[in-house]
Amino acid sequence: MKKLVISKLFLYRHRYIIGFILLSTAYVTLLFGLPLLSPGGLSEAEMISATRSYNLHPDSIFRGDIVDLPYHALQKLSILTFGLTAYSVKLPSIVIGLMLGGLLILLLNRWFKNNVALLASILAVLSASFLYLAGSGTPLIMLVFWPTLLLWLGSKIQGVTKPKPLYCFVFAFALLASIFTPHLIYLAIFIVLFAFLHPHLRFTIKTLPTLPLILTIFIIIAGLATLVMAAFINPTIIAELLLAPDFSLSKFLDNVQAAFLPFFAWNTALDSAFLSPFVGLASVALAIIGLLSTTKGFFASRNSIASCLIVFTIFLSGLNPECAILILLPMAILIAHGLRYILAKWYDLFPDNPYARISAIFPIGIFLGIMIIGGITHFLFGYRYVPIVADKFNNDLELISTHLDPGSTLYVLDQDTEYNFFQILDDQKLYIVKNELPTSEELPASYSTLGLQSETPGVIQEIITSPKSDNSDRIYVYNNMHEIDSSNQE
């Protein structure tokens, strides 16, 4: 009987390729199904983002409206192509999330061995926090996308004898584009300082070819000049890019506390759109193990950069609590360090026993399965049923598209965000008015009111209910007052 050699089996030889293919398939399937899964509806931040995107014009760059310009341009294209739906609002984040997941997998695969990179990638891109980020129709995802792209491009330049000029140019353009995302100008400054202070990176800069280095510096200077000109034309973007709208030094510590409580707290009473805990306890434990394991070789660039990114994230969250989302990147890196340390210790226990090494697959598989299934379940049901976070989203757009006929007039009273958002529906022949209810002589043939109480004058024709409304009734459709008056006279 021929002896079975495990190393020659097809599944064993191609286990990492198969693993990454399965991971990619699961991630893409989840990503494009996010608008149908959870959270149910749109948040106020998503409405504001969609409104700003729709009002974007070709001459916006000349008027200084350049904050998150790439994202808003992509979102406007999505709305113009597919109409105003929850899917079209979230589609830009889904597309960018697809690229972000790929970049994170490539980054981990470049810094770690295949086994560690595969396991860490699974935990990172299938986590509840990552899925929420990729399914939120706001530019918040750019806060993680640009640093991840810059780290991956930097890994293609650093540690290579002759870096390709193309990576240098793309790195410069990415660094340029990132400064138009709020607060990431600090990241650009941090990267430049880190590159000149770190001995390995400083050596890499010295070995770069002269022409690509000069062109890279020229691109960065041109970007800064564009930013200065835009700030001169539209001074309001200065505060938007550098600070939060209501920032003050006295609020710095309060912002840090507000930013990180939803990440680690188990209390669902927190007033935040993030579902607590935003980072699971098992992931935190792995990240702590990874952080401790990097102290020995701290001055290696990939070890120190995760710790520096955590400090940098804390600083940004003091300016704006939403910036705490950036911690997902160093957490993914530290989780990979933690997994590498655990696997290395296990292999050290059995240096010459292949069966003992293989036996580690079962407990690790069970551990990962519990983390992944628990995280996805937490995401799907938490944003749907936990009252504090579910209340941040509404399905008014779906209700209007389903129940209101073209030509109806929708009255939105004293709600600027919803009024501006639903004005996009004017192109679909649904007229939006922000006003007090008119008299019976001024009423149109049919009209609807959003979020009004039943005491409003008129005869209710239909009450449209929503599970996301406190009193269930969400939209009131009233009869034609002219017909009511004429029937009374008869």
DSSP 141-193: GHHHHHHHHHHHHHHHHTT-SS--HHHHHHHHHHHHHHTTSTTHHHHHHHHHH
Q: Are 71 and 176 in a shared domain?
A: yes
Mapped onto helix, strand or coil, the DSSP state of residue 360 is coil
pLDDT tens column, 116-151: 888 888 888 888 888 888 888 889 899 999 999 988
Are 134 and 14 in the same domain?
Answer: yes
Domain-located, residue 200: yes
C-alpha 268 chain-centroid distance: 21
Which two structure tokens, joined as six digits, stand for 259?
A: 């930013």
Helix (H) or strand (E) holding 44: helix 44-54
Same domain (yes/no): 414, 272? no
Residue 484 falls inside a structural domain: yes
Report the candidate in 349, 328, 331 with the shortest Cα–Cα distance to residue 285: 331
Kindly tell me if the per-residue pLDDT of 330 is higher than 70: yes
**DSSP H or E segment with residue 490:** none
The chain-wide mean pLDDT, for the chain, equals 76
Helix or strand run (H / E) with residue 129: helix 128-134
Among the residue ranges 125-129, 194-198, 480-484, the one predicted with the least confidence is 480-484
Considering only CA atoms, give the Rg of the chain.
26
Assigned domain for 1 exists: no
% of the chain exceeding 90 in pLDDT: 3
Integer CA distances (angstroms), 331 to 130, 280, 324, 368, 393, in order:
11, 11, 12, 16, 27
Instruction: Give the range of the structural domain holding residue 399, as residue numbers without chain letter.
Output: 395-489
Give ∠ CA 317-289-296 in degrees, rounded to 5. 95
328 pLDDT above the threshold of 60: yes
SS3 state of residue 64: coil
Domain final position from 328, 363, 390? 390
Note whether 88 and 181 are same-domain residues. yes
Q: What is the Cα–Cα distance from 327 to 306, expressed in whole angstroms? A: 9
Query: What's the sign of the alpha-carbon dihedral 197, 200, 202, 205?
Result: negative
Q: What pLDDT score does 3 carry?
A: 60
Cβ 167 vs Cβ 156: under 8 Å: yes
Distance CA 338, CA 253 (A): 29
Domain count, the chain: 2
Same domain, 92 and 201: yes
Domain assignment present for 356: yes
State the amino acid at position 415 in one-letter form: Q
d(CA 249, CA 255): 10
359 close to 297: Cβ distance less than 8 angstroms? no
Same domain, 417 and 372: no
Q: What is the largest CA-CA distance in the chain?
A: 101
Q: Is the pLDDT of residue 315 over 80?
A: yes
Same domain (yes/no): 201, 58? yes
Q: Which two tokens stand for residue 102?
A: 């790929």
Amino acid at 79: I
- Asked whether residue 228 is domain-assigned, the answer is yes
Pair (382, 404) in one structural domain: no
Query: Could you give the residue ranges of the DSSP H alpha helices within 234-360?
Result: 236-242, 252-264, 281-293, 301-319, 328-349, 354-358
Same domain, 243 and 381: yes
Listed residues 344, 359, 390: the one ending a domain: 390
- Under DSSP, the state recorded for 439 is P
Write down the pLDDT at residue 161: 65
240 and 358 share a domain?
Answer: yes
Domain boundary among 390, 415, 443: 390
Question: Which region among 143-147, 283-287, 315-319, 404-408 has the lowest average model confidence (pLDDT)?
Answer: 404-408
Q: Give residue 419's identity as a one-letter amino acid code.
A: Y
Are residues 427 and 336 both part of a single domain?
no
Block residue for tokens 């990619």: 24
Q: Are residues 74 and 175 in the same domain?
A: yes
- Residues 259, 264: Cα–Cα separation, whole Å: 10
Establish how many alpha carbons lie within 13 A of residue 436's alpha carbon, considering only the half-sphere containing its beta carbon: 3
Residue 483 has pLDDT above 50, yes or no: no
Asked whether residue 61 is assigned to any structural domain, the reply reads yes
* Phi, psi (deg, nearest 5) at residue 218: -65, -40
Here the tokens at position 231 are 């700030």
